[in-house]
Amino acid sequence: MASGVQSRAVDGAKARAIASKGADWRKPISEGSKGADKVRSVGCHARCSPIEPTEAQSTLREAVGVVWFEPHLATPKIWLARQFPGNSPNGNQILWASQNIDMLAWRAGAPGRDALVAQTLPYLFSQALTSGSNARPLLRRLFALREALHLLDYTDESISDFKVLLLRCFVSPHFLKAEEGRKLLALVLGVSEGLAREGLEFIRAQVGMMRGRRAAVVAYGEVVFRAWKDGGWVRGEIGEGFLQGMVEAAVHAADKEVAKAARRILWAFVEQKAVAGVEKLVFRLSEPVLFRSLQVANSNVRRNALHLLLDLFPLEDPDVTKDVNDPLLEKQFFLLDKLLMDDCPEIRAVTVEGICRILNQFWEVIPSPTISKKLSKIVDDMSKDSCNEVRLSTLNGLIYLLDNPQSHDILKVLLPRLSDMVSDPALSVRAAAVDLLLAIRDLRSFQYNKVVGLGTLLSSLADDHPRVAKKITELLIPSYFPSKLPLKEACARCIALIKRSPAAGARFCEFALSEGSSPRSLVEFIKVSITLALSPSGLNSAQTDGLVIASAKLIKSLSDEGSSLVALREYFTNAKLKLLFKTAVSGGAQAALLSMVPAISPDLCVLHIECMNIIVNAAVTSKQEECQEALLAAHKLVHLSGRSDEMFEELTNILQSKASYFSGMHGLEPPSCPVASTKRKKGKSLKKTPARYDDVDGNRSSTSVILSNEELTAVGGAAWQLNEILKAEEMRAAFLHSYAEIAFSSLKVISQVYIEQCLHFESLDLSPVFAYLSLATYSALQDVDQTDMSCSESTVVNQSLDHLLRCYDRFVNGSVTVSTDSTSTLNKNKKSAEHEHQQHVTPEGSPAEGTINVIMLGTSILKFIVDTTTIKLVNESKVRCVGFASSYTKYAVSAMKRHSEGSSFNGDDLKDILILTRSSFTYAAKLLHLVLASSTESSSPPEEAFLLANNLLDLVPAVESFAGPRFALTLVSVVKQWLPVLILGLGCRWLIGPESEMANKTCNLGDSDLPLWVAALAKNELFEAEEPREDDQSEQGNEHEESPSSRKLAETMVTLLRKGSPKILDSVGGILLSNLQLALQRAEHGIVLGLARFVCDKLLGSSSSSSSASQNLQLTRDSLRESFFEIDRHCKEDGRVDDECSRQQLESAKVLISSVLPYDACSQTS
C-alpha cells in the first residue's frame, strides 16, 4: 500500500510539473490581447507579493470571481497553483478546487477558457490513472473536457510528457472498462497523426498478449471502431494499416489465442455492418486473404480462416448486384462442404457447428435444397465421425439450431437417426445427446421419445456414468415423478418405472432429490415402496430388489434432511428391517439395505446375525464377485456395531483350518496358534489344530499330491475378505493388533501350496497370495509407526519375500535356485526354462491357463517387491529380488517361445497374458531403476542387473513371435519409457562402481545364449541391407523377415545412445561386439554381419569422423580390433567357412569394421 501511495505522489508531482510548463505548449494567446497583459501582470504580482497559506480560502474565492466574471483573466488559477504547490498544507485542496473552477468555466463556455487546458488535462489524466476504483468521476470530468484535446499543439517538443501520459491510458483497465474511458481513447486516436500511430501500435501489441482477456480485446475493438467512425485522416490509418494487420493475424497467427483476439477486434466492425462503409471495408480487406487461406496445406491456417469465414458470413460486396454476389455465396458453401471432410478433426468440428449457426441465422434466405443437403450430411455422416469432438460438435450444433422454429419440421425427420448416440463410447457425446433430448422436451412440437426410445433411455439410466444418468433423470422426472400431480399418482408412476426396469428406477431415485423433488414427497414414496416390497403383491424378485435399492438410494440422498430421517426412523422398526432383509434376494439389494441401517436405526446390531451369515458363507467359496457389494456393506456395519472381533475370528479360523489341512497334505510346517486376545469373548478363541507330522521341513515341498480345484479355491473367499479389511483403514488397526500372527502363518502355508499347484488348474484365485503380501506390508508399516524405527529395519517383509522367492524359484527352475553368485547365473543356459512345462504340466491342467497363472503370480510378487523397495521396507534382499525378476522374465520369454509354436492361446487368454506382460515389465524395469540408483562409486551394481536388462529386452521379440507385430508394438510403447534404464542396465558393469574394477572387466559372455533382442536387431540390419531381385524376392524375403517392433526399439536406442554420454555408448558398443564374437563362434555369420552394420553404421556412423570418434571409445575400439582379428582368422583358416555366402558376409563385416578403425589398427593383418 505504501508503494501505491508513493507512485500516486510521484504521478501527482509529474502532473504538476507538466502543468507548470503547460503555458509553453498551450496554443498561444495573441500577444496584443488584453488577456496576455493580464497573465503577465498576475504573474508579476505573484512573484512580488506572495500570499500566505492562511489566505487560501479568500484567494480561491477571489479566483472564482475572476474566472467567472472576467474570463479573460483565467490565469489566476496558474497563479494559485504556483502559490500553493502540492506539497504545501493546502496544496492538494487548492489543485482540486482549481480543477472545479476549470470545469465551471468550461461548461459555462466562458470566453478565454482555452487558457485552462494546459494545466487541467494533465492533472486529470494522471489522477485517473492512479485513482484505482475511484477513477470513474475523473473519467466523467475528462469526457466533459474532451473537446479541449484538440486545442493542444501535439507537434511541440514540450508536450512529450503529456503524450506519454495519453499512451499509458491505452493499457489502463480503468479506461477500458468505463464507457467514458473508451470514448476518450477513441478521441485520442483522432487528435494527432503521430499519437494515433503510436496508440494503434500499443493496441496491436496488446492484442498479441491478451490471452484469455476477452473483455479487454472487445474494448479495444470498440475504441478502434469509434475512432474509425469519427472519420478524418485516422480512418485511412485504421482501414489500410491496422485492420489489414488484424486480418493477417486472424488467419496466419500460429497461436490460436492470438488469432481469436484479432477476430474479436474485427468483430467490432462486423457487428456494425449497417454503418455506412463498414461492410465494404471488411469485404475489401478479407476477401483476397480468406478464400486462398481456406485451401492451404497448413491446418492451423485453414482453421483460423474457417473461424474468420464463419464470423463474416455471408461475405458479400455491397456495391454489386445480387447476381454478382450469388456465385460468391455458392463458393462459400462449397468451401464449407469441403471443410466438412477435412483431414483435421478440429476443422471438421468447427465446420459442423458453424454450418448450424449459419442455418439458424439465415434460414429464410438459404434455399431449401441447400438446407436439406447440409443437414443430411451432418446427421448421417458427421454423427458417425471417428473423432469424438466432431460427434460432439454435431449434437451441439443441432441444439443451437433448435432455437429456430423453422428448423423443427425437417429435424423431426432427421433427429431419430441419432438415437444411437445415447450409447456413444465417449462420455461427453452421450451427455450431449441427452442435452439434445432436454432441448426437444421443452418444445411443444417435439416428442423426445420419438427420437430415442424409452427402452434405450432406461438402459443408459441404469448403467451409464452419473453425469449422464443425472441428465436422463432430469429428462424423465416430469413424466415419472411430477410435482404438479397429486403425490399418490406421482408415486404410482415412479413405482411403474421401477417395475418396468428395476435398475433404471433405482438410479432414477438416486438423483430425484437433486432434480427438484421435495423431501416430503420422497419420504412418502419410500414408505409406499417398502410397503409394496413387503406385501405379497405378485412382484418378482428383481422388482422387489429394485424397490429396496431405490429406497436405500433415496435415504442416502436424504441423509442431510434431519426431519425426513426422524420420520423414517419411526417407520423402520427392527422387525420390519429383519423382514425386509429376508425379502431382499440379490447381493445388491442386501448391500443397499445394510448401508441404510446406520441412517434409519439406532440399533446397529439389528442385522448382525444376517451380516455374519453373509461373511461366513462367502468365506468358503471363491465366487466373491456375486456378493462383493453385500460383503463390504456387512463388514462396515459389523465394524460400526463394535463387534468386528467376531468377524475377524471367523475369517482367521477358516484360514487356519485350511492351512492346517494343506500343511498335512504337503508335509509343511503347520500355522502357529497364538494365545487368544483378551478382546475375544469366552468360548470364541481360535481353534488349535495339531500338526499331523511331527518332523516337517518348512523348506521342503511336494507335488505328489495334487489338490482339487475346490480344495484350492475354498480359501479364496476368506482371503479376499481379509484383503478388503486390510484396505479399510478403520478396520486394519484392530485386525493387526490381535489377529495378524495367526493369519500371517496361515496365509504363508496357503500361498506356498498355491504356487506349487498353479500349473494344474485353468483358473486360479490368487486372493490368498494377495492377502499374504498385503498383510506383510501393513504389518511392517505398523511396526515402523509403533516403534519409530527406520523402514529398513523391518524383518516381516524380508522374511515373507524370502519365503515367496524360494517357493517360486523351486517351482520355475526346479533344482536350480537363483543365486547371488554372479558366475553361476551368467553362464546358466536356458535348458531348465525350456523343459519346465514338461516337469509340471499334468493332464488335469491346461498349458495355456497354467502359464497365465505363473505369470500372474510372478507379476504380483514383482509388484510387492517394487512397492516395498520404494518405501524402503526391503534392504538386504535387493540382489535376490533382481535375480528373481531376471528368472521370472526368462521364464516368460521361454513360455512365449514354446507357445508360439503350438498356438495354444485363444483371444481372451492372449489378451490376458499380454496385459500381465506389460505390467510385469514395468515393475521389473522400476526395480532395475531402484537398484541402479542405489549403486555408488564404492559399490558396483549386481551382475543380475545386466541379466535382467537383457531379459527385459528379449520380451519384445518374444511377444512379436508369440502374438504378432500389433501386440508387440503396444509393448514397445511401454519399453520406450524405460529404455534409458535398460541401456544403463546393459552397461552398468562398466559404468558404475570402483574404477579399478571397471577397468579390469571385459565383455566376455562365456557360453551363454545370444539374447533374442540382439538377434532380432542383427536380422533387421540384414533385411535392410538386402535388395532382392524380383524373381527371387519371395525366397530372400522369407530368409530374413523384418521385426517392426525390434526395429522401432533399435531406432530409439540409437537416438538415445548418440545423444547421451560417450561412456554409455562405449559400454553398449562393447556388449554388442561381444555378442558378435559369440555369434562368430557359433558360425552364425549373418548375425555377425548384422551386428557389424549396426555398430559401425548406426552407433558410430560411416562418415569420415567415425575413425576419430572411435578413438574416444576405448572398450568399443578394443572390441572392434579383437573382432576384426577373429573374423580375419576365420576367413583364412581352412575348413572354418565353407559356404561362399558366409564368407562374403564375413568379408563385408571386416570392411565395415575397418572403416571405423584407424589404418594402423588393421595393418597387422596384411
Assign residue 494 a region (left: φ > 0; alpha: ψ between -120 and 50; beta: otherwise): alpha
Strand stretches in 1028-1078, DSSP E: none
pLDDT, position 646: 94
DSSP secondary structure string, 659-703?
A: HHHHHHHHTPPPPP-PPPPTTSPTT-PPP----S-SS--TT----
Q: How confident is the model at residue 92 (pLDDT cuts 50, 70, 90)?
A: low
Buried b / exposed e over 625-652, threshold 16 CB at 10 Å, is eebbbbbbbbbbbbbebebbbbbbbbbb
Please classify residue 912 by burial: count the beta carbons closer than 10 Å to its beta carbon, then call 0-12 exposed, 13-18 middle and 19+ buried: middle
DSSP secondary structure string, 371-422?
A: HHHHHHHHHHTGGG-SSHHHHHHHHHHHHHHTTSGGGHHHHHHHGGGGGGGG
Q: How far apart are the first and last CA of the chain?
A: 87
Q: Please work out, in degrees rounded to the nearest 5, the angle formed at the alpha carbon of residue 463 by the alpha carbons of 457 and 469.
A: 60
pLDDT, position 298: 94
**Does the reported pTM lie above 0.85?**
no
* Domain residue ranges of the chain, discontinuous segments joined by +: 1-162, 485-602, 1012-1027+1037-1165
Question: What CA–CA distance (Å, rounded) separates 823 from 142?
Answer: 91
Contact 608, 582 (CB under 8 A): no
Question: What CA–CA distance (Å, rounded) separates 315 from 263?
Answer: 15
Contact 421, 429 (CB under 8 A): yes
Beta-bridge partner residues of 26: 152
**Lowest model confidence (mean pLDDT) among 455-459, 523-527, 1100-1104:** 1100-1104
Residue 806, pLDDT > 70, answer yes
Strand stretches in 70-155, DSSP E: none
pLDDT, position 3: 40
**Lowest model confidence (mean pLDDT) among 40-49, 377-386, 883-892, 1047-1056:** 40-49
Give the phi and the psi of residue 26 in degrees, each rounded to 5: -70, 145
Residue 16, pLDDT > 80, answer no
Render pLDDT for 323-350 as a digit per residue (tens, 0 to 9): 888 999 999 999 999 999 999 999 999 9
**Lowest model confidence (mean pLDDT) among 288-302, 620-634, 953-967:** 620-634
pLDDT, position 942: 83
Residue 1037, pLDDT > 60, answer no
C-alpha cell at 974: 511401454
pLDDT, position 1008: 66
Find, among 585, 644, 581, the residue nearest to 607 by Cα. Answer: 581
**Lowest model confidence (mean pLDDT) among 120-134, 596-610, 769-783, 1065-1079:** 120-134
Residue 74, pLDDT > 80, answer no
pLDDT, position 29: 35
User: Computed from CA positions of residues 262, 268, 273, 278, in that sequence, does the dihedral angle turn out positive or negative?
Assistant: negative
712's CB contacts (< 8 A; 6+ apart) are: 753, 754, 757, 761, 764, 765
Q: Higher model confidence: residue 792 or residue 1133?
A: 1133
Find, among 123, 126, 114, 27, the residue nearest to 81 by Cα. Answer: 123
pLDDT, position 834: 41
pLDDT, position 1110: 54
pLDDT, position 101: 55
Residue 705, pLDDT > 60, answer yes
Q: How confident is the model at residue 993 (pLDDT cuts 50, 70, 90)?
A: low
Residue 1038, pLDDT > 80, answer no
C-alpha cell at 618: 462367502
Residue 1151, pLDDT > 80, answer yes
Residue 1029, pLDDT > 50, answer no
Residue 670, pLDDT > 80, answer no
Render pLDDT for 724-742 as a digit per residue (tens, 0 to 9): 999 999 899 999 988 989 9
pLDDT, position 1034: 43
pLDDT, position 686: 42
Question: What CA–CA distance (Å, rounded) separates 59 from 61?
Answer: 5
pLDDT, position 934: 84
pLDDT, position 822: 35
Render pLDDT for 426-459 as a digit per residue (tens, 0 to 9): 999 999 999 999 999 989 888 899 999 999 999 9
pLDDT, position 664: 80
Question: What CA–CA distance (Å, rounded) separates 1089 from 1147?
Answer: 9
Mean pLDDT of the chain: 79
Question: What CA–CA distance (Å, rounded) separates 962 from 941?
Answer: 32
pLDDT, position 707: 66
Render pLDDT for 460-497 as a digit per residue (tens, 0 to 9): 999 999 999 999 999 999 999 998 999 999 999 999 99
pLDDT, position 131: 81
pLDDT, position 1030: 44
Q: What is the mean pLDDT of residues 419-427?
A: 95
pLDDT, position 51: 37
Question: What CA–CA distance (Å, rounded) separates 102 from 145?
Answer: 10
Buried b / exposed e over 355-367, threshold 16 CB at 10 Å, is bbebbbeeeeebe
71 preceded by cis ω (within 30°)? no
DSSP secondary structure string, 577-630?
A: HHHHHHH--SHHHHHHHHHHHHHH-S-TTTTHHHHHHHHHHHHT-S-GGGTHHH
Residue 747, pLDDT > 80, answer yes
Question: What CA–CA distance (Å, rounded) separates 909 from 902?
Answer: 14
Q: How confident is the model at residue 513 (pLDDT cuts 50, 70, 90)?
A: very high
Render pLDDT for 567-616 as a digit per residue (tens, 0 to 9): 999 999 999 999 999 998 888 999 999 999 999 999 999 999 999 999 99
Residue 703, pLDDT > 60, answer no
pLDDT, position 873: 82
pLDDT, position 67: 42
